Amino acid sequence: MTIEAAAPASMAPDAAARPLVHPGWVRVTHWVNALAMLMMIGSGWQIYDASPLFDFVFSPQIALGNWLAGALLWHFAAMWLLVVNGIVYVALGLASGRFRAKLFPIRPREVLRDFVAALRGKLSHDDLSVYNAVQKLLYAGVLLAGLVIVLTGISIWKPVQFWWLTAFFGGYDTARYVHFAAMAAIVAFVFVHVVLALIVPKSLRAMIVGR
Amino acid sequence: MMARPRKPIPGVDARDLIGDGAKLLPAPSRRLFLRGIVSVGALATLTGCDIIDGSTAENALRVVSNFNDWVQARLFNRHTLAPTYSESQVMRPFRFNAYYDEDDAPEVDGDTYRLQIGGLVDNKKPWSLPELYKLPEVSQITRLVCVEGWSAIGSWQGVRLSDFLKLIGADTRAKYVWFQCAEGYSNTIDMPTALHPQTQLTLKFDHKILPQAYGFPIRIRIPTKLGFKNPKYVTAMWVQNNDAGGYWENQGYNWFSGL
């Protein structure tokens, strides 16, 4: 891909010597997904405000779309980007064996061990191509949350045509709460994800240039 | 709103955006801040800009909305019925909802009322309420889903719209049915939805003549579409091949709005 070809030239001389951590398709789908999620969550907050589920609303300053119709236009346009990009990512992740190699197995004992190590600041980041158990759990978890948010989204969008899916999530009203909960889980993940990327900046570099 | 520099891809060059803020930080944290601002900075820029919040963006997004109309028309299955509920699940009193207060809801005189019929139909004779009340009645307890997100289960009785269209000799090969309402509201719906077995020319709510709040004398109840595509206070119905739009659709809400 052009990104891989162009990257070494703009970097330090030793950059090409570092092993490739993220292939091009991972980096492209990662950033497209980041953009799509930003639009989906921002517009979703504006839509939420039209009929809040809880005793609070999101400030229009951090929401997207200005008013309900504008937010709906954003939400139902960005959904295509999110879903098409997500399908490409999951298909390549499964076909390439990357999911199986990187995310599994997830052992509770290792998660606990790595979690304690992370809190003590003793977790190694020397090899970015190997995920620790906490990372595995979080990345697998956010994939699951992504699946839930798409399926509950379809349940709310098409509660008649896909009534069986809506029924699976406990009916129309319950599906709205599950949709919200999945959003909250993803936002919490993004917060932790971004903070950790700041603490280990070379991980951010690897997601941009691959190495 | 304030216009700010904007990048289409978050984090490509966050320096332009947050440079001033970053100068306030000591050097090491500044670098960290610049490096990692990616998502947070992009969120702030994406949402605070007049270009993406304004009509420019909405006009571009309407192209996708039109595509979504096409997708929804294909997802629509005329045999798929909206889920139905029991009497005990009906919301009583039912929720009043409009873009005006309940006090401002149109008052239609039932004695002089006539439902005007037009367009591609054989018999354009206007219908009085006593005539409509004599037609065979169907009943449904279905969920009304508002575009805002809330929903409410209601009990509606009236004439199956497909039966009524047959009765007046409507050309059901036409593409649209357009409804005009007493307060100036209007809606256009697609013919497949008009012919759906649950689409109802509603005359009663909860087995009583439709109260003023819920659309007296006629509401078109369409459980396969969002609430705003269920016009109340209907005074005229036209069968036609051109899309005459609607009150909310013309302002940017999705045209098909199927459930």
Domain ranges of chain A: 115-211
Which of B32, B149, B252 has its CB closest to that of A201? B32
Fill in the DSSP letter of residue B240. Answer: E
Q: Which amino acid is at A133?
A: A
Q: Give the residue with greater pLDDT, B143 vs B13.
A: B143
Give residue-wise pLDDT tens across range B45-66: 554 455 566 678 888 899 999 9
In A35-58, which positions are buried (b, 16+ CB within 10 angstroms) versus exposed (e)? bbbbbbbbbbbbbbbbeeeeeeeb
Do B45 and B32 contact (CB within 8 A), yes or no?
no
CB within 8 Å of chain A, chain B residues 46-85: 46-48, 52-54, 57-58, 61-62, 64-65, 68, 75-77, 80-83
Determine the average pLDDT of the residues in A113-139: 88
The ipTM assigned to this model is: 0.86
Q: What band does A123 get if pLDDT is binned at 50, 70 and 90?
A: confident
pLDDT at B201: 98
Q: Residue A13 has which token pair?
A: 């001389």
Query: Backbone dihedral region of B84: left (phi > 0), alpha (psi from -120 to 50 degrees) or beta?
Result: beta
Closest-CA residue of A relative to B32 is: A198
pLDDT at B31: 44
pLDDT at A3: 44
H/E element, A43: helix A24-50
Q: Inform me whether the pLDDT recorded for B8 exceeds 60.
A: no
Give residue-wise pLDDT tens across range A176-203: 999 999 999 999 999 999 998 998 899 9
pLDDT at B102: 84
Mean pLDDT of all residues belonging to chain A: 90
pLDDT at B256: 97
pLDDT at B54: 67
High-pLDDT (> 70) share of chain A, %: 92
Q: What band does B30 get if pLDDT is binned at 50, 70 and 90?
A: very low
Residue A63's contacts (CB-CB under 8 Å, 6 or more residues apart) are: A42, A43, A45, A46, A49, A71, B47
High-pLDDT (> 70) share of chain B, %: 79
pLDDT at B168: 97
What homologous superfamily is domain B82-251 in, according to CATH? Oxidoreductase, molybdopterin-binding domain (3.90.420.10)
pLDDT at B51: 59
Q: Residue A142 has which token pair?
A: 């956010």
Q: Taking CA B135 as the corner, what is the angle to CA B111 and CA B143, rounded to the nearest 5 degrees? A: 95
Determine the average pLDDT of the residues in B244-255: 94
Do B38 and B15 contact (CB within 8 A), yes or no?
no
Give, in order, the Cα–Cα distances in Å from B129 to each of B65, B134, B136, B154, B157: 38, 9, 14, 22, 14
| Pair type for strands B200-205 and B151-160 | antiparallel
Instruction: Name which of A102, A181, A162 is nearest A136 in CA terms.
Output: A102
CB within 8 Å of chain B, chain A residues 59-118: 61-66, 68-70, 72-74, 76-77, 80
Mean pLDDT of all residues belonging to chain B: 85
Determine the average pLDDT of the residues in B214-226: 96
Q: By the CB < 8 Å criterion, does B150 face chain A?
A: yes
H/E element, B159: strand B151-160
Q: What band does B1 get if pLDDT is binned at 50, 70 and 90?
A: very low
High-pLDDT (> 90) share of chain B, %: 71
Give residue-wise pLDDT tens across range B91-150: 999 888 888 888 888 999 999 999 999 999 999 999 999 999 999 999 999 999 999 999
pLDDT at A9: 46
Q: What band does B21 get if pLDDT is binned at 50, 70 and 90?
A: very low
pLDDT at A129: 84
Residue B14: list chain A partners with CB under 8 A.
none
Give residue-wise pLDDT tens across range A15-48: 667 888 899 999 999 999 999 999 999 999 999 9
Residue A108's contacts (CB-CB under 8 Å, 6 or more residues apart) are: none
Q: Residue B135 has which token pair?
A: 């037609």
Query: Backbone dihedral region of B169: left (phi > 0), alpha (psi from -120 to 50 degrees) or beta?
Result: left
Give residue-wise pLDDT tens across range A140-180: 999 999 999 999 999 999 999 999 999 999 999 999 999 99
Q: Give the residue with greater pLDDT, A2 vs B91.
A: B91
pLDDT at B41: 44
Closest-CA residue of B relative to A50 is: B148
pLDDT at A128: 86
pLDDT at A127: 86
Which region among A46-55, B49-58, B205-214 has the lowest average model confidence (pLDDT)? Answer: B49-58
pLDDT at B53: 61
Q: By the CB < 8 Å criterion, does A34 face chain B?
A: yes
CA–CA separation, B128 and A186 (whole Å): 56
Per-residue DSSP letters for A62-120? Answer: GSSSSSHHHHHHHHHHHHHHHHHHHHHHHHHHHHTSHHHHHH----HHHHHHHHHHHHT
pLDDT at B49: 53
Q: Inform me whether the pLDDT recorded for B38 exceeds 60.
A: no
Determine the average pLDDT of the residues in A108-121: 90
Q: By the CB < 8 Å criterion, does A197 face chain B?
A: yes
How many angstroms separate the CA of residue B241 from the nearest CA in chain A? 26
